[in-house]
């Protein structure tokens, strides 16, 4: 391919290295086995440390690898969807990892906001909110149960398409979620939840509560999502500040 000046466009070295790692290194590893260190890869492939790091970052973004701070980088299990700290929707998470997202609606209606939700969404008790309950799928397989609550006015006064991306609907209405407070806790599936997720009753799951805010700081979405623990994981990076010390 010409670049307009008579030469050929060269592919970035980090992308070539990422491809080489897939073919030469990763194909011989078991899931969750550590890959060689950055220094070892630099020596093996004769590239800079920066090139190695960009190649690894690319593979981590694609869900091929995952990194554990202070430990190393490992080959990911493709059946496990890993989520990092970026604010992304379920549809984005699945699409970025090569899966096809979909939803099975379990209910979509307008209800009066109870006190707890009204406080979280900074609206008056009894205000109209949309309640969207759906089963989230990846490649047709059940991944999570989601219950979302949004003020009716942020959705333009109409119900969203329960099959489509709720995040995209918010963007179209001028209320893109720019930040969120999120909490994660371990739970055991109830009989109803287990039936939807095709899991045994009492199976382990991760319940994620998220309160999302638009660019003006207005709460626009309160969502509780229950993920199958055998198909979904969260990666967190933690750091020690200068004031921290061992007790």
Look up the CATH number of the domain holding residue 41. Answer: 1.10.10.10
Give residue-wise pLDDT tens across range 64-99.
887 766 678 888 766 555 554 555 666 666 666 666
Residues 96 and 148 in one domain: yes
Number of domains in the chain: 2
Nearest to 77 by CA among 65, 94, 67: 65
Residues 25 and 105 in one domain: no
Residues 135 and 217 in one domain: yes
Domain end: 46, 75, 104, which one? 75
Assess if residue 242 is contained within a domain: no
Give residue-wise pLDDT tens across range 16-46.
999 999 888 888 888 778 899 999 999 999 9
Residues 71 and 89 in one domain: no
Residues 193 and 158 in one domain: yes
Assess if residue 202 is contained within a domain: yes
Give residue-wise pLDDT tens across range 184-234.
888 999 999 999 999 999 998 989 898 988 888 899 999 999 988 877 766
Expressed as residue numbers, the domain containing 70 is: 13-75
With a cut of 50, say whether residue 1 has pLDDT above it.
no
Nearest to 97 by CA among 237, 205, 232, 238: 232
Assess if residue 219 is contained within a domain: yes
Helices (H), the chain: 13-24, 38-45, 49-61, 90-96, 115-120, 166-172, 191-197
Residues 64 and 91 in one domain: no
The predicted pLDDT at position 137 comes to 87
CA dist 56 and 65 (Å) reads: 8
CA dist 2 and 73 (Å) reads: 37
Nearest to 70 by CA among 28, 120, 34, 21: 34
The predicted pLDDT at position 120 comes to 94
The predicted pLDDT at position 234 comes to 65
Assess if residue 243 is contained within a domain: no
Residues 112 and 170 in one domain: yes
Residues 53 and 132 in one domain: no
The predicted pLDDT at position 181 comes to 85
Residues 64 and 95 in one domain: no
Residues 20 and 50 in one domain: yes
Residues 46 and 86 in one domain: no
């Amino acid at each position: 391919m010409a670049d307009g000046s008579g030469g050929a466009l060269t592919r970035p070295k980090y992308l070539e290295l990422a491809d080489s790692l897939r073919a030469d290194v990763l194909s011989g590893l078991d899931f969750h086995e550590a890959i060689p260190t950055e220094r070892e890869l630099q020596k093996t492939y004769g590239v800079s440390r920066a090139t190695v790091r960009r190649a690894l970052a690319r593979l981590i973004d694609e869900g091929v690898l995952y990194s554990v701070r202070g430990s190393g980088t490992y080959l990911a299990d493709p059946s496990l969807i890993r989520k990092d700290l970026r604010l992304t929707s379920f549809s984005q998470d699945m699409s970025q990892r090569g899966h096809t997202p979909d939803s099975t609606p379990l209910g979509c209606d307008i209800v009066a906001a109870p006190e707890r939700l009204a406080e979280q969404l900074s609206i008056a008790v009894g205000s109209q909110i949309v309640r969207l309950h759906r089963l989230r799928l990846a490649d047709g397989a059940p991944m999570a149960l989601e219950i979302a609550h949004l003020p009716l006015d942020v959705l333009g006064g109409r119900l969203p398409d329960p099959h489509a991306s709720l995040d995209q609907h918010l963007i179209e209405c001028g209320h893109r979620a720019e930040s969120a407070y999120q909490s994660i806790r371990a739970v055991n599936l109830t009989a109803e939840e287990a039936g939807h997720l095709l899991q045994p009753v009492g199976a382990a799951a991760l319940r994620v509560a998220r309160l999302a805010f638009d660019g003006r700081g207005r709460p626009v979405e309160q969502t509780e999502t229950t993920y199958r623990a055998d198909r979904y994981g969260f990666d967190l990076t933690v750091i020690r500040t200068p004031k921290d010390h061992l007790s």
